[in-house]
Structure 1
Amino acid sequence: MNVQVVADASLRFTNLVCKWPGSTHDAFMFSNSALKTHMETRVDGWLLGDSAYALRMMTPKANTSSQAEENYNSAHSKTRVVVERALGVCKSYGI
């Protein structure tokens, strides 16, 4: 099963989609989610995602060519790790 998860800075899940088989591409899941529709109508926030979500949300810059791009990738990685931590907390409790 492929799972789409959004977490806030407090490790709280704010969106969870778990209805697609494991072979489903992440971008397809997002494109067919209520979250995508919701985010298209908002102007007060951003979603960060990995490279599978290119052109749909803020993703890391491939082949950085400047210090600014490296700084962006570093900040992006530090922010995205929140989701990994939230999932780790769930796994540690057997959820």
Structure 2
Amino acid sequence: MEGNSAFFIIYSVSQAVEALIGIVSTIVVSIAAYKFSQVKGLPWGNVLFYSILGFVAVSIAQWVTIDILMESAADSEILVDSVFS
């Protein structure tokens, strides 16, 4: 039973780190898109496009990082169950 509690502690910490990375990257991408619009003088439609593009890139980077860190199929299945349930 002690192994399970250690796993859940590690899993909870990794989820907290993932959430923190998501929040920080969302803020950074939003600020970068705004500053990019100010420098280039782009209309807001392009700012929205670049923001969405940035969000997608950050999400892909997070999933690749999670995939690298979670090597076993069982851990990946638990992660997928927690995300989609």
TM-score of Structure 1 vs Structure 2, range by shorter chain: 0.3 to 0.5
- Relative to its length, the structure with more strand (as a share) is 1
Higher percent of residues as helix = 2
Based on CA coordinates, which of the two structures has the bigger radius of gyration? 2
Q: What's the TM-score once normalised by structure 1's chain length?
A: 0.32
